[in-house]
Structure 1
């Protein structure tokens, strides 16, 4: 009998990566390809379709299943693709019963889901870092965002379950990354309403052998004093803060229905860097949001320097069906693309200056596959002579090449 291994194609966020490993375990031994889709932009949906067609060409005899946010939001469209055998929703994709079913479409109302992570991945055999889902869904309704349609309302993994899983993963992995759709909203739905900061404290206390803990994207308005102290004072919490900023103009932020002003973002970064100067700032920024004029865009462009953003994730605005922003006056597509390019160029310049400032310094990195690369605590990518995968090593940075540090 032939031996099959499932192939998981994870698109989009780190939460998909974490859930993809759980799916891999559920499908052990099956000749199945799973495309774990993303719906954050129209381009992400397009890339999902491309991944489906590519997967069918590469594994013509395999069962091909589509799941993730794009599949959750528009299951009929993916079920209609000739390459697709089945569509499974975001709530169902972690349930063994869904994978045992032969239903062509298995997608429930995600807004009715009240728990999360019934199956947390037991291992990340192909990754040096482990990704642990501790939160899912979002209760906020930013006017541009379709993700609540794909993920549902905010819900949290019980603290004990998260700690148990992290304790097991820390035996095999030098770094654990906490993931979620709206990570800083962790806890209000749990008994005692623990905060994200309290979760992090308990992880560090109860998993003493955990060497590195990294947090995925944070909403700055929900970084309370406890979490701020951990980010700036705890050596096992990595000095890398990725903020969900989206824009740098107050009127645009208001029309996005964000909960912070430009000055709040700048002040937060100043406080973080004053308390822990080596902290590296990442941020999501959207170019060409509806009604954005050149002066508004200039404020967002200037935010890259004002907040010292060295890990910039730039998204050209994409109108998502059913969102309020899709009904607002749109910016011309060519202007959106041009502004996104300008943001990327500004981000690359800021990043290059930062990387150059690290030449001659000692950096500690987690070695990742294939053994000649890894990420420093500040998430700068480092290339080095091959060593054992999974080791945490300290190197001196000799140069910068093509956006990467060279040891």
Structure 2
């Protein structure tokens, strides 16, 4: 989501003497890193106008605005509007900084997870129309993008605010039908309980939809999921992944997991570790629980920070073990790999490959995995 927004702002502000910090507030660590980024940006660009936007600037506006390095703050809801930057009101040119195009089709969130501060910074859920999305996808394809990644704060809620409330599956189908030249379409994090029937069918059967599902899972214990006010239980995730793998065995599963949520017992933590193995999570994003001001979870009994960090490390180790075994199982198989700009590339299942010398960014190459070196197939 932040990648998509940052690239659009970069295109919109091309030629302007301004440095923009697009901040995050999902954890206290993210806010700390925002402050560091502001100080580094000012040191690197002492004469430029320095503007901060994003969730941290929205939620901690007074504190961020008081920093001596900051010249101004742009509201999160207004940051993609050229008028907020005093530049001409026109369509921003597409400037793909990557070989994959990240398109934010949805923003905001209507849910109230007890740990999450993002609705305070992003507001209510709102969706781009199908026409708007197709226009942006077509621009990125014309600019050379070989893969489109659909992103959003709550991606699977796309369409709820549009006439007739279309579901995300209808948007994906419309993109595939309107853009036959697009070889790869990938979804960012999704809420498993909101995967509609058409979307499920596309993930399970459509070759141009990448075999890679990243779930906003958050935990493996039902009681903790209820205290988080999540809308799924463990069995829902297990059933979803089982059905998909039965139809598309090569699909790779990713997930977000929180370690050390308030009231988490040793047994709850064990459930969190075990779901990594049960779902074969190979792309894991592990977050140590971080109390965010004003969220209900801050009023629950807290876990000592040392224990939170220890549990996060155990989750990361479990993901690393599962991922290592999965990568090793891919040796001997041949994949189409989309080259990035750093000498690596991604297979459809999001396995990362080291590329042969001379491979150009944006090139799709066939590579047979022969070995595994420092987490990269080659």
Give the TM-score range, shorter chain.
Answer: over 0.9
Higher relative contact order (CA 8 A, sep 6+): 2
- Are the equivalent residues in 2 in contact too, given 1:183–1:217 (CA < 8 A)? yes
In 1, distance between residues paired with 2:221 and 2:110? 23
- Aligned pairs, number: 375
Q: What are the equivalent positions in structure 2 for 1:9-158 lying under 5 Å apart?
A: 15-100=1-86, 122-158=93-129
- Are the equivalent residues in 2 in contact too, given 1:22–1:119 (CA < 8 A)? no
Q: What are the equivalent positions in structure 2 for 1:175-324 lying under 5 Å apart?
A: 175-324=147-296
- Are the equivalent residues in 2 in contact too, given 1:42–1:320 (CA < 8 A)? yes
Aligned to 1:104: none
Offset at 1:121? 6.1
- Are the equivalent residues in 1 in contact too, given 2:12–2:93 (CA < 8 A)? no
Q: Which segments of 5 or more consecutive residues in structure 1 lack a partner in the other structure?
A: 1-14, 102-117
Give yes or no for the alignment of 1:379 onto 2:350. yes
In 1, distance between residues paired with 2:129 and 2:139? 16
What whole-Å deviation, never above 9, does each CA across 1:256-308 have from its counterpart, x for those lacking one? 00011111111111111111011000000000000001000000010100111
Rate the CA distance shift 1:152–1:20 in 2: closer, same or farther, 3 A.
same
Q: Which segments of 5 or more consecutive residues in structure 2 lack a partner in the other structure?
A: none
Give yes or no for the alignment of 1:173 onto 2:145. yes
What whole-Å deviation, never above 9, does each CA across 1:151-171 have from its counterpart, x for those lacking one? 111111011110111012122
Aligned to 2:133: 162
- SS of the aligned residue for 2:186 comes to strand
TM norm structure 2: 0.97
- Are the equivalent residues in 1 in contact too, given 2:96–2:140 (CA < 8 A)? no
Most deviating of 122-131 and 313-322: 122-131
Rate the CA distance shift 1:389–1:323 in 2: closer, same or farther, 3 A.
same
- SS of the aligned residue for 2:21 comes to strand
In 1, distance between residues paired with 2:91 and 2:348? 25
- Are the equivalent residues in 2 in contact too, given 1:138–1:182 (CA < 8 A)? yes
Give yes or no for the alignment of 1:355 onto 2:341. no
Offset at 1:192? 2.1
Offset at 1:37? 0.5
Aligned to 1:405: 377
Offset at 1:126? 1.8
- SS of the aligned residue for 2:287 comes to strand
In 1, distance between residues paired with 2:333 and 2:53? 43
- Are the equivalent residues in 1 in contact too, given 2:336–2:367 (CA < 8 A)? yes
- Are the equivalent residues in 1 in contact too, given 2:96–2:145 (CA < 8 A)? no
In 2, distance between residues paired with 1:42 and 1:397? 39
Offset at 1:216? 0.5
In 1, distance between residues paired with 2:206 and 2:48? 47
Offset at 1:119? 8.3
TM norm structure 1: 0.90
